[in-house]
Amino acid sequence: MKDHAPRASDRTVRLEEYAPFPWIVGDVSLTFRLHPTATRVLSRITFAPNPAAPSGPFFLHGEKLKLIEASIDGAPVSPTITDEGLTCDVPGTPFVFEAEVEIDPSGNTALDGLYMSGGMYCTQCEAEGFRKITFYPDRPDVMAPFNVRIEGPEDAPLPVMLSNGNPGAQEGNSAEWHDPWPKPSYLFALVAGDLVAKSGTFTTASGMPVALNVYVRPGDEDRCDYALDSLIRSMRWDEQEYAREYDLSVFSIVAVDDFNMGAMENKGLNIFNSKYVLASPDTATDVDFEMIEGIVAHEYFHNWTGNRVTCRDWFQLCLKEGLTVFRDQQFSGDMRSEPVKRIDDVLALRARQFREDNGPLAHPVRPESYIEINNFYTATVYEKGAEVIGMLRRLVGAEAYRAALDLYFERHDGQACTIEDWLKVFEDATGRDLSQFKLWYSQAGTPRVEVSEEWDEEAGRLALTFRQHTPPTPGQPDKAPLVIPIALGLLDAGGNEIMATEVVELTEAEQRVEIGLGTGDADLASDAPRVPGRPVPSILRGFSAPVILQRQTSAEERAFLLAHDTDPFNKWEAGRALARDVLVRMVTEGAEADPHYLSALEMVAKDDALDPAFRALALSLPSQDDLAQAIHDGGATPEPTAIWAALRRLAEEIGGTLEPVLSRLYDEMRVPGPYTPDAESAGARALRGAALAYLSRVDGGSRAAAQFAEAGNMTEQLGALGALLRIGKGEEELAAFRRRWEGDRLVMDKWFALQAASASPAEAHDVALRLTGDPAFDWTNPNRFRSVIGALTGNVAAFHEPEGRIYRLVTDWLIRLDPVNPQTAARLTTAFETWKRFDADRQGMIRENLERLSAVDGLSRDTSEMVGRILA
């Protein structure tokens, strides 16, 4: 029965090798007899030959399954079983395959398939977890309706037993569920345990009532209101903006403590990392509330973009993820401040995706090969995938975008699709040829767009020359020019807008755009009167394309745009660029903090006409990683400790110079009354928190200590604690915080993360040893592991402390985690992806550690692929 196939790790999966499954699955019936160590899964699946596919052997995926018995049309069979699945002789006509397998949920520490978390049964099947539950064609293009019966353990009945779809008979110790919508196996879900629900109802636009439930462990019921409210707002928004209605009688969200990802969009039964469900004013920050809103929306929106229309294969992951991220960004922009949301999204894109796109892990939005698909749930697929949709919408316009989406749902409902299907819908709806645009899906790397300008004073014409190029990335030495929408505006010398935003479409490697000012033959329409003096262009407004804009600009012009630009994104961007230039000079030339920057910053801080949330963003400094990247791009070698010291010096300088305005803001931005997580209050708290962080640099922490003692919510308490830790204080507060929150996992994650993130390079190793040696460091829990190891690697100066002790410590922990939870271990290896930016000593130490990791006997396919790519 047992065959010796090559280990799956040896095999690269390629897009070009796609072939449809040779059978069509009709119905799927599953019975689960739950038991912590010996759950029985009985399956009954109907198969018929697929006339659209070449015939092939009958192969069902299956990993770590103990086959009890199998039959075809009722007759027992003895299939051949390998590490990857089962093959069997089958008739050439429709047949019924039945199997009974045994699995061990409590032994499943990889949190993939059916596993246990705190005594509760739950599943995670995307991308390839279902094959750890039973034998099945575990691929997204096989879609079928599912019937599920769950039987609880006889000796320990489970109050709640859930699966996808609509509820059927629920009696005694069993529950039945029927999902009428054909779905791929990665959307299967099962949850069973001692859970309680916070419930609500929603009536769809066409009048169908839907029962809504947020399931949590007893005791957490009072922390679900915001998730439920976010769900209701998401359902309404999708009806209003995309005409998408919900399609089952019940929709549930379940919070799980042990979870590799953020959340999962299983049909009708979303499973969430509890971090993105549970929130109360005293335990969650404003950022937590905002994340919950965004992630609840994201998973709900998948019901149409992902579930009803799914991906043909995993190379098409961006089809559902890029689009759904774009949709959740639109939603959050509508719920909150759109410009502030855009700035936040671009900050995240640059921090994660640009970093990825400029290193050894760079890959296209639609990758062409993988060894372990779990390694491709990346910022490129998600965030750059969303940027591509945003560009498409900008190019065709909002109305045509909506028409194309209507056609997409109409044409492809119930199908498993490709990027080609997606683009064809846009071509058919708009008449546009998207063959060049399609390169965004296949070409990796962040394009550089260089702009130079000529001003013809006499003719009153401004000419902009754009040159685009995309640097080589692994496997892609040469790149073709892309379609790049550049949103452009123009200000006169007095700061008045003389040309409202227009979109220029770059398609060539070099392209010249002339703008006439009131001359009557303008290339870009403009009725503005001719203005004396050279205008100031505002380029890439709203960050209209995910590119790096390269332009020789003076500090004066940046300060001018920071003061006057009418586009909020570019206004912020001007200030950010100014801060980056100042800091880079401080690091590389030992320059002093530039007084022009400080006065420009003061002007923004003082400007009460500006949204407080926007001002908070304008006051924030570039991250250590941003600066390392900027210094590297400038041709120098970044020194992490020097970057850390310059940031500290500038923060002190800002605290001192802007003390009067910061102190006024700190007093004025106090939000009276009970805490509410709305955008306006959160914005005021963000600005107050930014002021506090700077003021603490110069007041010895007195304000922060007082705020910590009085804080009535987690945002203010954690903000005060962070401000204290960053100035080397807060020991007592840290202990008090722990005493108060010891029993709360999510809050304790913050306690760990904050210390790791604010450790100075000199104390990093001691802090790391203390945190990882703490009895509460439950390292098998992914949230806890990330809160220490992830936060430590995100603190660039700490991670790269000159003696290499943190490299060793992180590597040791990855070696320990890998056999237990390969997905989480593999994801954290990305800490090393920027290693080639640094000096020879650091590179040597990193290489040594990566080689040590890669040499581990039995290293998972996940981690081994990642380390191989980073080292290549």
The catalytic site residues sit at: 299
Nearer Cβ to Zn ion, position 306 or 535?
306
Least CB distance to Zn ion at residue 251 (A): 16
Task: Specify burial of residue 171 (Cβ count, 10 A radius: 0-12, 13-18, 19+).
Answer: exposed
> CB of 320: closest distance to Zn ion in angstroms?
7
Residue 323 or 506: the one with the smaller Cβ distance to Zn ion is 323
Least separation, in Å, of the C-beta of 310 and Zn ion? 12
Cα dist from 407 to 246, 317, 424, 426, 625, whole Å: 18, 20, 10, 9, 42
Closer Cβ to Zn ion, 319 or 562, answer by number: 319
User: CB of residue 296 vs Zn ion: minimum separation in angstroms?
Assistant: 12
Nearer to Zn ion, 324 or 760 (CB): 324
> Is 194 exposed, middle or buried, given 0-12, 13-18 or 19+ CB atoms closer than 10 A?
middle
Least distance in angstroms from the C-beta of 323 to Zn ion: 9
CB of 321 or CB of 372, closer to Zn ion: 321
Closer to Zn ion by Cβ: residue 389 or 798: 389
> Which C-beta is closer to Zn ion: that of 134 or that of 303?
303
**Interacting residues of 43 by C-beta distance below 8 A, sequence separation 6+:** 28, 29, 30, 31, 97, 98, 99, 100, 101, 134, 135, 136
Mode of pairing for the β-strands spanning 23-33 and 85-88:
unpaired
What is the Cα–Cα distance from 44 to 41, expressed in whole angstroms?
10
Greatest Cα-to-Cα distance within the chain, rounded to the nearest angstrom = 91
CA–CA distance, 634 with 629 (Å, rounded to integer): 9
Distances in whole angstroms, Cα of residue 674 to Cα of each of 223, 670, 671? 16, 12, 9
Contact 543, 342 (CB under 8 A): yes
Minimum CB distance to Zn ion, residue 341 (Å): 18
Three-state DSSP class for residue 427: helix
Q: What is the DSSP letter of 197?
A: E
Residues forming beta bridges with residue 2, ordered by sequence position: 81
Closest approach of Zn ion to the CB of residue 306, in Å = 7
Are residues 586 and 593 in contact, defined by beta-carbon separation less than 8 angstroms? Answer: yes
Q: Residues 773-790, buried b or exposed e (16+ Cβ, 10 A)?
A: ebeebeeebbbbbbbbbb
- Least distance to Zn ion, CB of residue 832, Å: 26
Q: Which is nearer to Zn ion, 324 or 378 (CB)?
A: 324
Q: Of the candidates 830, 769, 841, which has an alpha carbon nearest to the alpha carbon of residue 800?
A: 841
Query: Are the C-beta atoms of residues 595 and 556 closer than 8 Å to each other?
Result: no
- Measured distance between the N- and C-terminal CA atoms of the chain, rounded to whole angstroms: 39
Distance between CA atoms of residues 626 and 632, nearest Å: 10
Helical residues (DSSP H) of 220-336, grouped into ranges: 225-242, 286-301, 317-335
CA 232 to CA 682: how far, in whole Å? 21
- The residue ranges that bind Zn ion (CB under 5 A) are 321, 324
Nearest to 687, CA basis, from 620, 754, 599: 620
Pick the closer one to Zn ion by CB: 305 or 758.
Answer: 305
% helix, strand, coil for the chain, step of 5: 45, 20, 35
CA 136/CA 131 separation, integer angstroms: 6
Closest CB to Zn ion among 35 and 320? 320
Question: Minimum distance from CB of 328 to Zn ion (Å)?
Answer: 8
67 beta partners: 101
Q: Is the dihedral of CA 253, 254, 257, 258 positive or negative?
A: negative
Q: Least distance (Å) from Zn ion to the CB of residue 298?
A: 6
Cα–Cα distances (Å) from 28 to 24, 80, 526, in that order, read 11, 22, 62
Listed in sequence order, the residues at least 6 apart from 435 whose beta carbon sits closer than 8 Å to its beta carbon are none
CB-nearer residue toward Zn ion: 321 or 818: 321
Report, in Å, the least distance between residue 271 CB and Zn ion: 12
Select 317 or 768, whichever has its Cβ closest to Zn ion. Answer: 317
If 0-12 CB within 10 Å is exposed, 13-18 middle and 19+ buried, where does residue 136 land?
buried
Secondary structure of residue 703 in the 3-state scheme: helix
Provide the minimum distance between the beta carbon of 541 and Zn ion in the complex, in angstroms, as a whole number. Answer: 28
